[in-house]
Amino acid sequence: MRTNVAHFRKFLRNSRGAVTVDYVVLAAAVTAVGLYSTDIIGVGMRSLAGTVDEELSGTSTDTVVGLQYASGFDNGSEGWSGATAQEMNGIGNVLGPIENTSGLPGVSRDFAIDPNATEASFAFDLYAMDDFDGDTGTVFIDGQAVGSVTVDQGVPTFTAASDLAERGIIIRYTEIDKAVNLGGNPDRVDAMSNISITVKNLQENPRENINFGFGSDASAGANNEYFAIDNFTATGLADY
């Protein structure tokens, strides 16, 4: 019994292998801290990426003059004309369906612009649903076309207006989905894109209001093909 106790005491005093044990504990702690900080670092990196993108595109990253409007049309479509907020199967509430407007800005809304704003921006998701076969949706600013999306069998093609530089307008188009079923008729293919518009030089060319409009030349009714707008935002707005 004494021998066993002596061996046990000797074992406790022996430091051989202690470095390995300490390293395992330290490595586990470092791994835990790394996992915990992943989300924090990720948010910071996304914020930095947005700042870099805005700086490269010439947009101020400090403050945005004026108020912001944002609507997913869950609370209706107040202020809009030519279309109402409705629930779309598989997607949720949208502004639409937008049928044939003879290519004119049949759906529109006026936005009051902050007198101190140097620019105003508009961005939204555009859905092209069901049986499109070369039909076009057109985006308007103050009644003039700034870009159009032509959809054929769920595949969209974007065309920007040729005079945007002279008008002080920048438009960006991002294709999100194409030739897939997003909702509506389950036997048809749809398309989804995001469009953002920046109206610049508002101090040199001040405007009290900017009218956003959308039109369609879809040849069939809403049961067969239609456009819809969702997640609409606008910045640089007045507080009245």
**Number of folded domains in the chain?**
2
Is the domain of 167 the same as that of 116? Answer: yes
Is the domain of 144 the same as that of 204? Answer: yes
pTM of the model: 0.73
HEC readout, 123-137: EEEEEEEECCEEEEE
Which of 44, 59, 74 terminates a domain? The answer is 59
Residue-number span of the structural domain to which 75 is assigned: 65-237
Is the domain of 97 the same as that of 76? Answer: yes
In this prediction, residue 143 carries a pLDDT of: 97
For residue 129, what is the domain's CATH number?
2.60.120
Is the domain of 139 the same as that of 50? Answer: no
pLDDT (tens place) for every residue of the chain, 240 residues total: 445 556 656 655 665 655 555 666 677 777 766 655 554 455 454 444 444 444 444 444 445 789 999 999 999 999 999 999 999 888 999 999 999 999 999 999 999 999 999 999 999 999 999 878 999 999 999 999 999 999 999 999 999 999 999 999 999 999 999 999 998 788 889 999 999 999 999 999 999 999 999 999 988 766 779 999 999 999 999 987
In this prediction, residue 46 carries a pLDDT of: 44
Is the domain of 180 the same as that of 222? Answer: yes
Is the domain of 54 the same as that of 73? Answer: no
Is the domain of 114 the same as that of 216? Answer: yes
Is the domain of 115 the same as that of 40? Answer: no
Is the domain of 82 the same as that of 52? Answer: no
CA 94 – CA 86 distance, rounded (Å): 6
Is the domain of 35 the same as that of 51? Answer: yes
